Structure 1
Amino acid sequence: MNLFGFSKPRSDKDFVRDLCRKMNQEARQIDRQIHAIQREEAKVKQAIKAAAAKGQMDACKVLAKEIVQSRKAVTRMYQSKAHIGSICMYMKNQASSATMVNSVQRSTDAVKSMQYLVNLPECAAAMRELSREMTKAGIIEEVIEDTLESVLPEVDEDELQEEVDKVLNEIVVGTLSRAPAAATHSLESKEEAATAENDKDAAQVEADLEAMRARLEALRD
């Protein structure tokens, strides 16, 4: 019987190395998601500035909320990478220990880290498969999956609005003061044309909003 109490042709170190390789692949995938979200955020910032310059504050608030949610997702992704690194380091240390006697099974930290990972939408599928491999090999006890609500913090609307305001202040400082005056200040002879143009702009803004929200939602999932 080997260190993990499970008979298999390869050594414990090889087995752990293979698991860590798979987990590191998932970490690189998380990195790609983070970079994609950050690239999309740069586009959303430009859209907010453009909307603010036109005085379209409703559009600014919608996009700012998307940025807040995306930044929270990125924070979760960085936490996921930290958990992955922690699990790999623990397994490597234990696999190289000659005195290990099922100590990995009793590691509440390893189980908690894996439990965190299998419940996050960003990496749940891959981590559930790895969790099954680790459980089968006796590295950890079976991970109990929580509901998503128990893993992700409950949204506080007041706190969310405060974060949205911070994002708007961060992005549109100085832009609002240069926003165009209301349509009532337009010349009488241009009111009809201005109204038509505003309607066209509003429709385009709404279409752009939906497209950006869809892209960010896809990247966060």
Structure 2
Amino acid sequence: MNIIGAVFGRYKSPAERMREHQRSLQKATQKLDQERTKLESQEKQLIIDIKSNANKGQMNSCKVMARDLFRTRRYVAKFYSMRTQLQAVSLRLQTIRSNQQMAEAMQGATRAMGMMSRTMNLPQIQEIHIDFEKESSVMGGGGIK
């Protein structure tokens, strides 16, 4: 490995970097989902605790737990919002990747068309076409329309 590669790391193509970013977005989305499910289970437990304390007549602890429940629900909503934003970024990256692949395919088709036009002898093809029209008009076909 050369010195520059050792210091700065290996050069990564745009496709490799795109894949890495997609992977990191997926991991972040999974972590958000895990945290959200933990908060939702905590919310269920808080509801159970609030009900049991209300039955016991402990209203002060119920108020504190109700605030905590409200805060937990707000965090769950924020996690849903963050997950949606991450999915939007991931979708945008996917769109960019597909546009890049389309551009590469069009570039390849353009190269192939250029090679074909270079290999074709256009004056000779025109001459054959003119001869064909002459022969067709002599035979009564009227030529190519």
Q: How high is the TM-score relative to the length of structure 1?
A: 0.39
Task: After TM superposition, give the deviation of residue 15 of structure 1 in Å.
Answer: 1.6
Q: Which amino acid aligns with 2:84?
A: A
Check if 1:55 corresponds to 2:45. Answer: no
* Corresponding residue number in structure 2 for 1:76: 78
Provide the secondary structure at the position in 1 that maps to 2:57.
coil
Identity %: 22
Distance in 1 between the 2:53 and 2:11 partners? 62
Give CA-to-partner distance per residue, 1:51-88, whole Å, 9 cap, x none: 11111111111101101101111111111111111111
Residue from 16, 21, 27 that aligns with 1:19: 21
* Corresponding residue number in structure 1 for 2:6: none
Distance in 2 between the 1:40 and 1:92 partners? 35
* Greater radius of gyration (CA): 2
Q: Which amino acid aligns with 1:60?
A: C
Distance in 2 between the 1:95 and 1:31 partners? 25
* Corresponding residue number in structure 2 for 1:85: 87
Give CA-to-partner distance per residue, 1:117-172, whole Å, 9 cap, x none: xxxxxxxxxxxxxxxxxxxxxxxxxxxxxxxxxxxxxxxxxxxxxxxxxxxxxxxx
Distance in 2 between the 1:12 and 1:93 partners? 14
Provide the secondary structure at the position in 2 that maps to 1:97.
helix
Map residues 126-145 of structure 1 onto 2, 5 A cutoff. Answer: none
Contact 1:13 1:92 survives alignment (8 Å): no
Q: Where does structure 1 lack aligned partners over 5 or more consecutive residues?
A: 1-7, 101-221
Task: After TM superposition, give the deviation of residue 14 of structure 1 in Å.
Answer: 2.6
Distance in 1 between the 2:56 and 2:98 partners? 63
Q: How high is the TM-score relative to the length of structure 2?
A: 0.58
Q: Which amino acid aligns with 1:66?
A: D
Distance in 1 between the 2:12 and 2:99 partners? 17
Report the aligned-residue RMSD.
1.9
Distance in 2 between the 1:58 and 1:74 partners? 25
* Corresponding residue number in structure 1 for 2:38: 36
- The runs of at least 4 aligned residues of structure 1 exceeding 2 Å deviation read 8-14
Higher helix share: 2
Task: After TM superposition, give the deviation of residue 12 of structure 1 in Å.
Answer: 2.4
